[in-house]
Structure 1
Amino acid sequence: MTALVNQAIEAYRPSAHYTAENTWLNDPNGLIFHAGVYHLFYQSNPFGDVWGNMSWGHAVSENLLDWKELPVAIACDDDEAIFSGSVVFDATNSSGLGTAAIPPMVAVYTSAYSESSSRHGIQAQSLAYSLDDGLTWTKYQANPVLDRGSADFRDPKVFLYEADGASYWVMVAVEAMERKVVLYKSDNLIDWSHLSDFGPANATAGVWECPDLFALPHEADPSLSKWVLTVNMNPGGINGGSAGQYFIGEFDGTTFLSETTVTEGPEDPERLAEYQWLDWGRDYYAAVSFSNAPDGRRIMIGWMNNWDYANLIPSSPWRGPMAYPREITLTSVNGQPRLRQRPVAAGSAEAIPASLEGSASLLDSGSQTFSLGSGTAKVITVELKSDGSSDVGFILHGEGNGQTVITVNPAQGTLSLDRRESGKTAFAENFASIETANLASATSAASAMERISLTIIVDACSVEIFAEDGLTTLTDLVFPEQPYTQLTVTASQGQAELLSFAVAG
């Protein structure tokens, strides 16, 4: 966990989250584990710290914690910007872009054609390939390979579908303005035929982007597998601006059928909280998962930012961090399928181990303060029991007046984060905010002592909360004037028993 103890070089530079050295980044794409290395490609502006000149940046890691930035992988040119997509390892050389001895890695990306192109205004899907394990890339000479003549056809996520003796590539992309996921198949990554469409459904107030589709075994019975479709959208998130949602159901190789759709067609604003959100915070967007992760694990990374203020956040010379990698599993809540998300540790599917454990104590309309140490990044684990009549607060603060307040309300079944006094907030008029999430396993009864568990990852510019063992997550950027070195736990108008407290950093 060496990345957790490295100190930030510039103000707000995180030590446990990936950032580019001195440029802008946004959506992660092309995530793949190959030849013992995790590859993180992402939307990059190689020439500045705001959005533009979209190309694929590139970083690699052996443990998901320590990242090395490499040169730009696929660069924009006068004819096209390189929008989001995915990377697969074409082990059988079905594309013919490599050889039997040296099968290629193939990137499937969106060409966003510029004014100088004969396809000006069109977004279509193109290929690039690598024969040296992802270090250098060559664009396919007959690009694009799939063109619908659309201005908003983008973000292809490709995977190899294998069932009942069949094996072919499946592309999941979006018609963004139609709030629709479109599915295609191919035997060779070059010739594509349409399979089916999904949507609009659930949250539709913003454009749909960056889809993903994958199978997950149930954590209680691995033989019970479901398919998960994730779709990111902007704006229209549950707490404003950018967000991601998911659907759980079945995929037969042609059609995805959702079992968790609440509303079809236009969303119902009154039912927004019933939709399945990947994260309830303001700053978790464009999340996609790694291909070929070891041991069948499903690991996801999102962009930790929001298009409401992404170009304005006060970081320099870099702008835009990635969220902490998450292990995704399938579980059930009240008989309904749900995703569980846990932060991953180096080379392990387990949650990050804690240290410096604190002793249990009773909070009776009072508070207790713990030191978080001086490191930039901290992983805090807390478990307590509440009598249900009390709000339980977790206040992150330093020596000054700034603070970020996390509150659990057992009676209402909610988790909230208040960053209005977190530090620098005036750079964007809509940054200062309170985010609220509905706890997945909440009950209306407040008479019995209820157990509350949280894992909180705090870094130089962010707070990520994993509640209920990852059933509910909430991610927000914060820019404190002074580092958060203390955590005060409070119970108001009631009683809470602090069962354990630990910090790793």
Structure 2
Amino acid sequence: MTHLIRPMLFLMTLLLASCGEGPDNGKSASSVAGGDAGATRYDEPHRPQFHFTPSEAWMNDPNGMFYLEGEYHLSYQYYPDSTVWGPMHWGHAVSTDLLHWEEQPIALYPDSLGYIFSGSAVVDELNTSGFGNGEDPPVVAVFTYHDPQGEQAGADDFQYQGIAYSTDKGRTWTKYPGNPVLRNDTGVRDFRDPKVFWHRETERWVMVLAVYDRVMLYGSPDLKNWEYLSEFGIKGDTRLWECPDLFRLRQPGSRESKWVLLVSIQQEGPAGGTGTSYFVGDFDGTTFAADPASQKWLDYGADNYAFVTWDNAPVGWGNRLGIGWMSNWQYAQEVPTQAWRSAMTVPRVLSLVEDAGGYVISSVPVPAVTGLRGQEVALPVRIGDSLQATGDFSPSQCDLSLLVDLENTTATAFGCTLSNPEGDRLVIRFDREQDRMTVDRTRSGPRGFSEAFFKGPHSAPVDMGQESLDLRILLDVASVEVFADRGKANLTDIFFPESPYSALVLWAEGGELVLFDGSVYPMESIWEPRP
């Protein structure tokens, strides 16, 4: 969790010492502006229609994600008093289908130990923590306390780990009176974002923690007492690591598994600024082992950061369910939305696939996203110079699905362009000679709010030497998510046109684009109609 603290925020710490955790001392996530959730129409300019956004105020990293008794819980870094970063709380939303979210009261408030930075939550089925009530398993949140007064004083131990627990399925939380449970004795200022999981072979909890340019692993029998296990990093790396995650994925075609370490990198991502990376390796309960030179990118766009996964999610053995923050610290606090800032990606299913003798992650939308589709609009299977797609759908809110016949396609490049009457345009290009896909948002909308935002284009490697290439492109008012080659190459970008894109043109250069199949689907909104 990034701490872009402005000097004025230190003045707020005097107020934070008196912050409580009940409704009398804070605001629920749906009552920020003096009204309730019904006051938000969810149809403001740039408001996504099938991605989660808070009704109002600032949001960044996804946190504290778990599944229990039919409900998916999503917490997130939240500042209820502004649309820019501030003293961090945990906002909270619940869904039964990963699409339609109901905002809950704020889960965790800052207190005398500090702001509530990023972390995770686990369902303690065995009640190892002793927090259970004998009926339902306790849910335990593990998070970073960030002490702004310690930071201002120049200390190097102002970040440390705390826990809270819930005995009512995540509806209310009690902070552990023995906090912090893991103090910072490393001498490193950046000591945060704990992701915790139960390791069944060693029968203990394992925490993976970002410590500046590496991760450190800790073990615990009860979530309260932690011991150092090991660390993993890249020798000589100077980039800031954040929001780690460590989990198993099944090896294709076998019952064996590999371990994946997700790490978000705060600078020098593939599209500039922040990005989410991963390593594929092995974990023996104490040490994660992987080739440090094998770091890969989960997403090549500018806007998929802090991607982490759900605990206890029912996605089948060997897969994993996760979500990312759809923004970038280069411009997140400057994008031209008014009532709220930031959205999440669509939830995605992660799995391992073989590629060039090794393993890479395939990341695809959860199947529930398909349930938002309306009536199919079929596309011609042969496209020459250009074709404007027409039918009962909005180009700014649709699901474009293409299966490209690469053997019979003669075009050297193909793609699609979205545009509006004001001249804004977004170009998605697939270059067969370069084996790359590109999203160009440099002319996607009015400039002025951020110079970094309009740098680009952003590109990702794609194997164009196959017989076919499957493409899925989700367009949602102010975002595009491209899933190529069975999810092996992803690219997520946000954009802010002056008015919604109203034209979708498919095109081919230097020949003809041939499809096995092509369709556009209108996408339903996840928000209930407001009066």
The TM-score with structure 2 as length reference comes to 0.85
Contact 2:410/2:510, CA 8 A, preserved across alignment: no
Q: Please state whether the residue corresponding to 2:457 is helix, strand or coil.
A: strand
Q: Which residue of 1 aligns with 2:497?
A: 480
Contact 1:282/1:435, CA 8 A, preserved across alignment: no
Closer/same/farther in 2, CA of residues 54 and 90 from structure 1, 3 Å limit: same
Contact 1:205/1:235, CA 8 A, preserved across alignment: no
The yes-or-no answer on 1:302 pairing with 2:324 is yes
Contact 1:465/1:474, CA 8 A, preserved across alignment: yes
Structure 1, unmatched stretches of 5+, are 1-5, 264-274, 444-448
Contact 2:315/2:321, CA 8 A, preserved across alignment: no
Cα deviation for residue 355 of structure 1 reads 4.5
Q: Tell me the alpha carbon deviations over residues 190-227 of structure 1, each in whole angstroms, 9 at most, x when there is no partner.
A: 1111111000269x453000000000113x32413111
Q: Which residue of 1 aligns with 2:225?
A: 191
Q: Which residue of 2 aligns with 1:284?
A: 304
Contact 1:212/1:231, CA 8 A, preserved across alignment: yes
The yes-or-no answer on 1:253 pairing with 2:285 is yes
RMSD between aligned residues: 2.3
Q: Which residue of 2 aligns with 1:65?
A: 99
**Any runs of at least 4 consecutive aligned residues in structure 1 with deviations exceeding 6 A, and if so which?**
116-120, 350-354
- Separation in 2 of the partners of 1:371 and 1:304? 29
1:370 to 378, 389, 408: 389
The residue type paired with residue 468 of structure 1 is D
- Separation in 2 of the partners of 1:205 and 1:278? 20
Cα deviation for residue 469 of structure 1 reads 1.6
Q: Which residue of 1 aligns with 2:241?
A: 208
Cα deviation for residue 242 of structure 1 reads 0.5
- Separation in 1 of the partners of 2:276 and 2:395? 31
| Residues 24-423 of structure 1: pairs in structure 2 closer than 5 A | 24-115=58-149, 122-149=158-185, 150-163=188-201, 166-176=202-212, 179-200=213-234, 204-218=237-251, 220-259=252-291, 261-262=292-293, 275-296=295-316, 297-346=319-368, 355-364=375-384, 366-371=385-390, 373-374=393-394, 377-386=397-406, 387=409, 390-423=412-445
The residue type paired with residue 209 of structure 1 is E
Closer/same/farther in 2, CA of residues 120 and 48 from structure 1, 3 Å limit: farther
- Separation in 1 of the partners of 2:395 and 2:331? 27
Q: Tell me the alpha carbon deviations over residues 372-418 of structure 1, each in whole angstroms, 9 at most, x when there is no partner.
A: 62386311112223446511121112344211000000111000000
Closer/same/farther in 2, CA of residues 450 and 392 from structure 1, 3 Å limit: farther
More strand by share: 1
The residue type paired with residue 214 of structure 2 is K
The residue type paired with residue 241 of structure 2 is W
The TM-score with structure 1 as length reference comes to 0.89
Closer/same/farther in 2, CA of residues 473 and 487 from structure 1, 3 Å limit: same
Q: Which residue of 2 aligns with 1:494?
A: 511
The residue type paired with residue 128 of structure 2 is S
Cα deviation for residue 9 of structure 1 reads 1.7
- Separation in 2 of the partners of 1:480 and 1:205? 36
Closer/same/farther in 2, CA of residues 286 and 351 from structure 1, 3 Å limit: farther
Closer/same/farther in 2, CA of residues 133 and 392 from structure 1, 3 Å limit: same
Contact 2:264/2:306, CA 8 A, preserved across alignment: yes
Cα deviation for residue 371 of structure 1 reads 2.8
- Separation in 2 of the partners of 1:61 and 1:222? 33
Contact 1:43/1:56, CA 8 A, preserved across alignment: yes
Q: Tell me the alpha carbon deviations over residues 40-64 of structure 1, each in whole angstroms, 9 at most, x when there is no partner.
A: 0000001111001101000010001
Aligned residue pair count: 474
Structure 2, unmatched stretches of 5+, are 1-39, 524-531
